[in-house]
Amino acid sequence: MRIGILGTGNMADALGTQWARAGHEVLVAGRSADRAAALAGRIAGGIGGRTACRAGTLREAAAFGDATLLAVPHAAVPEVLKEAGADEDGGGVLRGRVLIDCTNAIGPGFVLTTQGGPGAAARIAEATGAHVVKAFNHCADSVWRLTPPAFPDGPLTAPLAVPLCGDDERALETVRTLVRDMGCVPLAAGGLDRAVYLETATAFLIGLWVSGKDPRRMLPPFEAATA
Ligand SMILES: NC(=O)c1ccc[n+]([C@@H]2O[C@H](COP(=O)([O-])OP(=O)(O)OC[C@H]3O[C@@H](n4cnc5c(N)ncnc54)[C@H](OP(=O)(O)O)[C@@H]3O)[C@@H](O)[C@H]2O)c1
């Protein structure tokens, strides 16, 4: 698969490395050509140069792939989409393409900056006309860097489930493949109208994690919760 990445920070690094390792062709881009080149080198170097990973412009990254990952701060999304040629009220370069939205619009106090309006994914879908899939926003980049992201579950080690919200079956199947390729399991979490709940739940989870509380302790086993 060909994957374009908008952003050259931690999430671009973590997910780009996983997908390059799985044999996908990755093109990374950001506002700094130097940082994009450095990341492309790091991704290729990190997996022994066995990959096709290169840097390009935001415009190239948006038009490059079978999927595009949007990995910039929420506040920077309009600027980045404009630079990529993707913000023309649904008529830009990302129209009809698979766009993975991992952004979190979380401000001080773990409050959503989108509160009271459409969620981040809905805004991105509206601006781009892309088949947006919300994914990978609910865990830190340190989790996505694990090979694989899997944790003890009783006596076994279970792969991490990645909730996906989206409306387009082809886009969802593309992202399910990318989830499995990094050793995780996809978790169907509803249409794009559910993405705002995933965004809200993530703000809630981060608030607990950062204050040293383990949210797993509030969750009963599945059988008990559904009895
Ligand atoms: N890191 C995590 O643990 C994590 C986990 C889940 C979701 N997320 C979400 O994923 C997204 C990316 O996070 P990240 O941790 O990868 O961020 P990051 O490491 O800070 O990288 C952000 C990227 O966005 C670019 N950027 C920032 N402001 C910009 C602007 N005004 N115009 C153009 N480009 C701009 C940065 O470019 P420069 O390098 O030039 O500044 C960089 O390429 C965010 O929405 C975040 O909430 C992060």
151 with 184: CB under 8 angstroms?
no
Give the pair of three-digit tokens for residue 201.
């739940």
CB of 10 within 6 A of ligand 1: the answer is yes
Which stretch of DSSP H or E encloses residue 28?
A: strand 25-29
Identify the DSSP state of 149: -
Name which of 62, 58, 127 is nearest 94 in CA terms. Answer: 62
Q: Which domains does the chain have, with CATH numbers?
A: 2-225 (3.40.50.720)
Pocket test for ligand 1, best of 5, 17, 28, 31 (most atoms within 8 A of CB): 31
Q: Encode pLDDT of 6-51 as tens digits.
A: 999 999 999 999 999 999 999 999 999 999 999 999 999 877 766 7
CA of 7 to the centre of ligand 1 (A): 6
- pTM over 0.85? The answer is yes
Neighbours of 75 (CB within 10 A): 11
- In the reported structure, the alpha carbon of residue 223 is separated from the centroid of ligand 1 by a whole-number distance in angstroms of 38
Atom of ligand 1 nearest to the CA of 75: 31
Whether omega for the bond prior to residue 186 falls within 30 degrees of 0, making it cis, is no
Distance from residue 156's CA to the centre of ligand 1 (Å) = 34
pLDDT digits (tens, 9 = 90+) for 83-140: 999 987 778 999 999 999 999 999 999 999 999 999 999 999 999 999 999 999 999 9
